[in-house]
Copies of this chain bind each other. A is one copy, B any other.
Amino acid sequence: MNKTVGEIGEFGLIERIKKIIPQADRKDIFCGIGDDTAIIKISPKKWLLATCDIQIEDVHFRLKHSTPRQLGSRAMAVNLSDIASMGGTPTYALVSMGLPPDFKVKQFDGIFKGMGDELNKYSALIIGGNLAHTSDKLVLDIFLMGEVSPDSILLRSSAQPGDRIFVTGQLGASAAGYHVLEKFEKNYPEEYRHFVEAHLQPTAKVEAGKQIAQSGYATAMIDLSDGIASDLRHICDSSGVGAEILEKGIPYPDKIDDIAKAVSKSKLDLSLHGGEDYELLFTMKPDTPSEIIEQIATETKTEVTEIGKVLTKEAGYTLVTADNNRQTLQPKGWDHFG
């Protein structure tokens, strides 16, 4: 056994950790290794959420593409999105940073301002962290805590056949923004600004997540970090169900055809597999009144779109194309070592 981590891949590594660090018999842990967010039962009425996300220069971001403030804001939003997907409220963050010695103090300040901007929306706060030096690349690792009431928590594992599938926002905008930046750098055409903003400054759907979780009709939720084809698959695998997505239902951003054409992909491909939209994907009971959906959309000023249905596991994992063909939905998972 002399394999590399690249060969075994992210999900293989997580399985190994689960074996080395067994936790099934711990009654204080509601959700441990393998989920995006850990859940600790600290008190009967309030559970603690904890998540982290490490971002490395030229792997997860490029300094030439964004201002330091955007970079900080984005790194925090990625973590906030994990808390949002549990229906939780963010509370406290710790920040670890590895910095090359020639990194500018002004940029350093900007990153912290950006992280603060995002947390301030929820009265959450950076309360500590750690600074170290690196030889050349910037490393930014955020640990974010949150809280949630045990009776409104939403997991990936409770979707049922017949449930309706919804997403917030639009799909594929961040992937399109990445391609716009790669092609035009900072001199992109104004008509593509919404793509660039979706990529550089996503907004975590914290309020929407809370309202969805508290609606009494939601059955499962996840945030869209890897693309809907992969993220819906996580819900299906955890819940032991299948699903179908309707191509006709996908909320495409304006002008995505332009970008799809320029990079020789279909807009469907960008939307299903693009990733990093940090929208919410959630399932609702079949009898959910339409007023409930409208209320969530209106009160949180969030677009909400129905895009498919939960099926039995036997019925498979399917995309229903615009011309009504059924094809297997391929989860081209974003394996971080792939």
Chain B residues within an 8 Å CB radius of A294: none
Assess whether B2 is in contact with A104, with CB atoms less than 8 Å apart. yes
Q: Which of A1-30 contact B (CB under 8 A)?
A: 1-8, 10, 13-14, 16-17, 20-21, 23, 26, 29
Assess whether B337 is in contact with A101, with CB atoms less than 8 Å apart. yes
A322 on interface, CB distance cutoff 8 Å: no
Chain B residues within an 8 Å CB radius of A35: 128
Binds B, one of A46-54, A229-237, A282-290, A323-331: A46-54
Query: Assuming the A-B contacts A17-B126, A143-B143, are A133 and B52 also in contact, with contact meaning beta carbons closer than 8 angstroms in the complex?
Result: no
Assess whether B21 is in contact with A126, with CB atoms less than 8 Å apart. yes
Chain B residues within an 8 Å CB radius of A99: 5, 337
Assess whether B56 is in contact with A125, with CB atoms less than 8 Å apart. no
A162 on interface, CB distance cutoff 8 Å: no
Expressed in whole angstroms, the Cα–Cα distance for A101 and B56 within the complex equals: 14
Chain B residues within an 8 Å CB radius of A96: 52-54, 96, 141, 143
Assess whether A20 is in contact with B116, with CB atoms less than 8 Å apart. yes
Binds B, one of A37-45, A238-246, A300-308: A37-45
Expressed in whole angstroms, the Cα–Cα distance for A17 and B59 within the complex equals: 25
A122 on interface, CB distance cutoff 8 Å: no
A216 on interface, CB distance cutoff 8 Å: no
Assess whether A131 is in contact with B3, with CB atoms less than 8 Å apart. no
A139 on interface, CB distance cutoff 8 Å: yes
Expressed in whole angstroms, the Cα–Cα distance for A131 and B56 within the complex equals: 11
Expressed in whole angstroms, the Cα–Cα distance for A10 and B132 within the complex equals: 8
Chain B residues within an 8 Å CB radius of A127: 23, 29, 32-33, 38, 40, 50
Expressed in whole angstroms, the Cα–Cα distance for A38 and B125 within the complex equals: 12
Expressed in whole angstroms, the Cα–Cα distance for A36 and B320 within the complex equals: 54
A175 on interface, CB distance cutoff 8 Å: no
Expressed in whole angstroms, the Cα–Cα distance for A336 and B108 within the complex equals: 15
Assess whether B59 is in contact with A143, with CB atoms less than 8 Å apart. no
A103 on interface, CB distance cutoff 8 Å: yes
Pick the residue among B7, B97, B145, B337 that contacts A50 (CB under 8 A). Answer: B145
Q: Interface code A92-132, partner B: CB below 8 Å = 1, 0 otherwise?
A: 10101111011111101100110010000000011111111
A60 on interface, CB distance cutoff 8 Å: yes
Smallest distance from the beta carbon of A53 to chain B beta carbons, Å? 5
Expressed in whole angstroms, the Cα–Cα distance for A13 and B6 within the complex equals: 36
A58 on interface, CB distance cutoff 8 Å: yes
Assess whether A132 is in contact with B59, with CB atoms less than 8 Å apart. yes
Assess whether B5 is in contact with A94, with CB atoms less than 8 Å apart. no
Pick the residue among B4, B112, B143 that contacts A104 (CB under 8 A). Answer: B4
Pick the residue among B21, B109, B134 that contacts A112 (CB under 8 A). Answer: B21
Smallest distance from the beta carbon of A317 to chain B beta carbons, Å? 25
Can you list the 6 inter-chain pairs with the closest CB atoms, starting with the nearest? A6-B101, A38-B128, A143-B143, A54-B96, A38-B127, A32-B127
Give 5 A-B pairs besides A4-B102, A59-B135 with Cβ atoms closer than 8 angstroms: A20-B116, A21-B126, A55-B132, A56-B98, A94-B143
